[in-house]
Chains A and B, each alone.
Chain A
Amino acid sequence: MNYDRPDLLERLAAEYVFGAMTGPVRRRFERLRLTLPAADAAAVAWEARSGPLARSVPAAAPSPQVWSEIDRRTGGTGEATAQARARAGAGWWRWLAPVAGLAFGVVATLGVVRLAPDAIVPIEAIVQERGTLPQSYVGLLTDTTGAATILASSTRHGRTMSIKVLRPIEVPAGGVLQLWALPRDGEPFPLGVVPREGKGSFEMSDTSEKLLSNVPRLAVSIEERPASTGAPPSGFILTGHCVKLW
């Protein structure tokens, strides 16, 4: 074949990137990419052009073993995980501290200090026993640098999701911030739209208990319009754990 013809290279690159080539033809084109800069440039241009088409594909969470293998194969020691978590976790604990303080304050006034003085009572247990904080689902979403950005909370049997934006979020004109639930098994589903700053709330389609009991993580994406059920999210800009506060 005469690969000097730009229209031929263009067509081959398009078919290669779109995925229509059979194995042997793909491999031949890959060799061509390595030896002919014009072929590589045509393929890169098609990859750049067509990449946004992939954003309508529903996300799927890989199992934790995938990272362990990647870490092992790239000479890691598991430390990156700990550091990335510590970074993400820093925001979490900064947020928990006042809650813990509040819980201690409330239980102290309630006279729980009458408990055996040597007993080290976990805060969780006190909160649960005394009901000082209502049973709730709480999510703290962080950005890619691990900075705490959105606090989402809803009482266990309520339908209102309260949102507090801890750091204003940049949203391109016409975009909305969509909050998603990422179930343990299954596709992400939309919960509602969150404000870019300040506080807000929205009504969910059901109670937190129904919607979130099997949801370990929440995430936020930027969408053109509020997502409807079954619509796939575009890329997530914030993610975080969703925990039961009881």
Chain B
Amino acid sequence: MALSADHALLIARVALGDRTAFRQLYDATSPSLMGVALRIVRDRSRAEDVLQDAFVNIWHRAGSYRAEAGSPLTWLTAIVRNRALDALRSEARHPADSLTDDEDEMTDIQDDRPDPLGLLTQAADALAIRACLEAIDGSQRQCLALAYYHGLTHSEMAAHLGSPIGSVKVWLRRGLEKIRRCLERAK
């Protein structure tokens, strides 16, 4: 697709230290990448910090982009997601807000972000793998969506779904095996 080719060209120019290309790449991709970060860390200013760190990283690592990492946008998404997940985990280690008792944490988990399962279904539609996705057991699909879009750990998923952590681990593992086959079919 023309878009991917354009992004790949920009990344190649960024690798050569072209600052104008860097800015163009930022303009072209930062809204979708900001959306991805915001989804995981939930707070605008934290998401902006994630985006900032990710782009500093991209500036230094642009030369390492390879086609096997997927489309340019996929590669950029992986950088942003990893940074966002790191930020989310370090936040859990040093909670910024005093969410000390269990009740607060539960409220915190039941947030107002739109249904992650809906996002997974929309993505599957766009990739023409809806039928394949819907053949995956409902709890497994839930776990996939909660992990991918919200970055929930096994124990957070267990709390969110009110299910034992052992079941959640099995659901996610089986779900991953199945979605792998769906994604490999996606166009």
Contact = CB atoms under 8 A, between A and B. Distances in A.
Given A19-B81, A73-B52, A80-B23, A53 B30 contact: no
A236 B24 CA distance: 12
A51 interface: yes
Nearest to B149: A57
A83 to B, nearest CB: 4
B51 interface: yes
B186 A19 contact: no
Contacts of B85: 19, 26
A74 B23 CA distance: 12
B74 interface: yes
A76 interface: yes
B152 interface: yes
A231 B122 contact: yes
A90 interface: no
B32 A18 contact: no
A60 B45 CA distance: 12
B147 A20 contact: yes
Main secondary structure of the interface of B (DSSP, over half): helix
A224 interface: yes
Nearest to A61: B31
Contacts, number: 199
B153 interface: yes
Nearest to A172: B1
A52, A53, A59 pick with most chain B CB within 10 angstroms: A53
A51 B71 contact: yes
A59 B26 contact: no
A31 interface: no
A55 B20 contact: no
B15 interface: no
A71 B59 CA distance: 10
Given A49-B180, A53-B148, A58-B35, A74 B70 contact: no
A69 B154 CA distance: 35
Interface in A124-168: 143-146
B68 A48 contact: yes
Nearest to B122: A56
Contact of A47 (B20, B74, B126, B154): B74
Contact of B23 (A53, A62, A84): A84
A188 B23 CA distance: 21
A144 B7 contact: yes
B31 A62 contact: yes
Nearest to A41: B68
Contacts of B96: none
Contact of B78 (A51, A144, A170, A172): A51
B24 A144 contact: yes
A236 B6 CA distance: 12
A23 interface: yes
A144 B20 contact: no
Interface of B: 1-3, 6-7, 10, 19-20, 22-24, 26-32, 34-36, 38-40, 44, 47-48, 51-52, 55-56, 59-60, 68-71, 73-75, 77-78, 81, 85-86, 89-90, 92-93, 119-120, 122-123, 125-127, 143-144, 147-155, 157, 172-173, 176, 180, 183-184, 186
13 contacts: A48-B74, A49-B180, A54-B81, A56-B120, A58-B35, A61-B31, A71-B19, A83-B20, A144-B3, A144-B6, A144-B24, A234-B126, A236-B31
Which 5 pairs between the two chains have the least Cβ-Cβ distance?
A: A51-B74, A48-B70, A23-B89, A80-B19, A59-B31
